[in-house]
Amino acid sequence: MDKSPFTRIEKGGVTSPKGFTAGATYAGLKKAGQDKLDLTLLYSERPCAAAGVFTQSKTCSPSVTLSRQRIARRAAQAIVVNSGCANACVGPQGLTDAKDTTILAAKKLGLSEEDVLIGSTGMIGVELPMALIRSGMQKISLTATAGPSFAKAIMTTDSHPKEQALKFQMGGKEITVGAACKGVGMIHPDMATLLCFITTDAAVEPGFLQAALKNAIDKSLNMVSVDGDTSTNDTAIILANGAAGNRPIKAGTKEAALFQQALIEVAVPLAKMVARDGEGATKLMEVTVEGAASAADARLAARTIASSPLVKAAVHGGDPNWGRIMMALGRSGAAVTESKLSLYISEICVFDKGVPIAFFKEAAVNSMKESSVAILAKLGLGSHSATAWGCDLTEEYVRFNTEYST
């Protein structure tokens, strides 16, 4: 196996790349007793190339609308994020509040408001408490070691922060990529994930940066499903500030391929962390589909299996009830020919080219007691493959979401 060009940075995150600082505070948007950070800033000392992918929801948050508009310039220098309030479905006030929040951040940082992006997550249908945001903003101080605080401040129902960072060499320069991400309910992203922020000190040509981000998210966070519900606020943003001193990375080059791979290497572990931390989840489910007739079919089949409530419940119970996997494949819309299809649960073949296998059930049950369960479907129709990540469906998920607002 080739040695990986990438070195993981232990406890690294959005402030690992050169020239990025962050800060966070408790402004009072979350309930007392919950995690005590809910307003945070991410800042680059230099102007950045910027790219983003966002929810396809038609009731998206004005925070998304504003960031989508501003990122069209392919440039930005800071991001302000609040948790506890999604700033969604509140009428025209939502866009006013989103703008005002970026103005407060811009004044504090000495930037033009156009250079500040915004992300919001939390309860839908309540207005941003602007007085709290205003006083909270004043309390934030920026440091180059506050990546973990940023990661903590963007959380809502997450049980722990989700960060990644790695470094690699490119043309004699050391490049670092860092990221923070949060889940973990309403997770079935469509063109984006809930909130994911990636920083890098690489210099990157903005058009390529957008394409590389889209491709990395499509192979990672867009392949996660916790509950099949898509948020109003999904946002993934990357800022590239060029502090590493490399020549700007252009599409189609060897450097572009390396940078693309670095983004995927950062995003895939985050995707698995989101799935494993799904509301109420006790297990990670990794679904791989091979031999699909098209790339779209492979993605569709893998995501449909990973999001089927009946498959998720079977994984929770450690029940190798593979008929449910067949059912999900059958309804996915992907081309499936039963006589060419084989199925594996944790590497145990349960269905071979159209015929059920008398597998040793106890072995399958035992393998499903592990904290990760692997499902593999070989469609035998082509050369395309995809992997999706999900989690088990638990009584705790229902209990949690039954009690959320009352």
List of residues contacting its own copies (CB under 8 A)? 55-60, 86, 88-92, 123-126, 185-186, 188, 190, 227-232, 308-310, 313-314, 316-324, 326-332, 334-336, 338-339, 341, 351, 354-356, 365, 393-395, 397-399, 401-406
Q: Report the DSSP pairing between strands 284-292 and 372-378.
A: parallel
Please say which residue, 15 or 230, places its beta carbon nearer to its own copies.
230
Please say which residue, 139 or 331, places its beta carbon nearer to its own copies.
331
Q: Identify whether the C-beta of residue 20 lies closer than 8 Å to the C-beta of residue 42.
A: yes
Name every residue whose Cβ is closer than 8 Å to that of residue 73 and which is 6 or more positions away in sequence. 50, 114
Distances (CA, A) of 266 to 200, 338, 391: 11, 36, 20
Closest contact distance (angstroms) between CB of 91 and its own copies is 4
Please say which residue, 211 or 310, places its beta carbon nearer to its own copies.
310
Please say which residue, 18 or 384, places its beta carbon nearer to its own copies.
384
Q: Round to whole Å and give the CA distance between 147 and 127.
A: 27
What number of residues does the chain have?
Answer: 406
Given 193, 199, 230, 235, which residue is catalytic?
Answer: 193
**Rounded to the nearest 5°, which phi and psi values hold at 343?**
-130, 140
- Estimate to the nearest angstrom the gap between the alpha carbon of 349 and the chain centroid: 31
Closest contact distance (angstroms) between CB of 372 and its own copies is 18
Sheet holding 284-292, edge to edge: 224-225, 384-391, 284-292, 372-378, 342-345, 348-352, 355-356
Closest contact distance (angstroms) between CB of 327 and its own copies is 5
Please say which residue, 12 or 94, places its beta carbon nearer to its own copies.
94
Closest contact distance (angstroms) between CB of 114 and its own copies is 25
Closest contact distance (angstroms) between CB of 290 and its own copies is 17
Q: Identify whether the C-beta of residue 278 lies closer than 8 Å to the C-beta of residue 394.
A: no
**Rounded to the nearest 5°, which phi and psi values hold at 191?**
80, 0
User: Helix, strand, coil proportions of the chain in percent (round to 5)?
Assistant: 35, 30, 40
Please say which residue, 71 or 187, places its beta carbon nearer to its own copies.
187
Closest contact distance (angstroms) between CB of 162 and its own copies is 21
Closest contact distance (angstroms) between CB of 190 and its own copies is 7
DSSP 8-69: E-TT--TTSSTTEEEEEE--S-SPTTS-S--EEEEEEEEEEEEEEEE---TT--HHHHHHHH
| 14 closest CA partner among 253, 339, 294, 236 | 236
55 is catalytic: no
Tell me the HSE value of 300 on the side-chain side, using a 13 A CA sphere. 15
Please say which residue, 171 or 356, places its beta carbon nearer to its own copies.
356
Name every residue whose Cβ is closer than 8 Å to that of residue 129 and which is 6 or more positions away in sequence. 27, 28, 29, 85
Q: Identify whether the C-beta of residue 52 lies closer than 8 Å to the C-beta of residue 238.
A: yes
Closest contact distance (angstroms) between CB of 88 and its own copies is 7
Please say which residue, 225 or 260, places its beta carbon nearer to its own copies.
225
Q: Identify whether the C-beta of residue 260 lies closer than 8 Å to the C-beta of residue 215.
A: yes
Other C-beta atoms lying within 10 Å of the C-beta of residue 399: 11
Q: Which residues are catalytic?
A: 193
